[in-house]
Structure 1
Amino acid sequence: MTLPYGRAPRGERVIDEQPVSPGETVNTVAVLTEHGLDAQWSDQGPLTAERFVAYLDVSVLPLLLAGKTLILDRHPVHRARAVRAFLDRHHVRYVYLPPYSPELNPSEEAWSKVKHVLKREKPRTVDHLLDILHRAAQSITPNDAQGYFQHAEDFSLVTV
């Protein structure tokens, strides 16, 4: 990820480097709670239903035992039969957000902050990327998270 703009002294060009090829695919997922981003998991390669179920089993399930509801967007992996079966088998309450409604998804704002850090830091290796992802996720404070939830709730209260 590279910032699409730059600054230079008046009359001078901005000179920066940008990779020609996108490199390896790294997927990262995390749970946004009232305390910040939690249960962060990153892995190389595509995110499949099997990998997502493994993530839910190891990292997310312990967080949901307190009677919380898991809110999922409509990513195809989130809606996979294996994911729904896993959640049902473990009696997890879950809801899917309506299609095309990022304003109702509080994690969108958290990921926006994480992406801004990534663009600023310009990681060029997978190890550097994973390090920055971890630090950026930790930068989401409880105050940030509560604001993201409040913002999404404000949108959900609007009726037409």
Structure 2
Amino acid sequence: MEQDLLPKLKETSVLIMDNATFHKGKRLQELIRCAGHYIVWLPKYSPDLNPIEKMWSRVKMIRNKFRVKDIDKLFKDYCNDLFGI
């Protein structure tokens, strides 16, 4: 977050976060706020409000289908399945 996402946010932004344990850390929240951004929390147990959950569901399906052992192969298989690439 500190090295990847925050430097790319040029304007004040609102980050929408789910209740994953790693999102709840005080250091992460402090980094976001000190960079001038805001956090909006999704309600607990509401994957329907979190579009990325659909992607993760698809990735898990593909992972089970192909039984991949590394992330590069998983990504390639995902792109192939989704986009025909």
**Aligning the two structures, in what range does the TM-score lie when normalised by the shorter sequence?**
0.7 to 0.9
Deviation at 1:65, TM superposition (A): 2.4
The answer to which structure has the higher strand fraction is: 1
The aligned length equals: 82
Mapping for residues 9-158 of structure 1, pairs under 5 Å: 56-123=1-68, 125=69, 129-135=70-76, 136=78
* Structure 2 unpaired stretches of 5+: none
Three-state SS of the structure 1 residue aligned to 2:45 is coil
Three-state SS of the structure 2 residue aligned to 1:110 is helix
Bigger relative contact order, structure 1 or 2 (CA pairs below 8 A, ≥6 apart): 1
% same residue = 28
Contact 1:118 1:132 in 2 (8 A): no
Larger Rg: 1
Distance 1:66 1:75 in 2: 25
The TM-score normalised by the length of structure 2 is: 0.76
* Structure 1 unpaired stretches of 5+: 1-55, 142-160
Segments of 4+ moved more than 2 angstroms = 62-69, 132-141
The TM-score normalised by the length of structure 1 is: 0.44
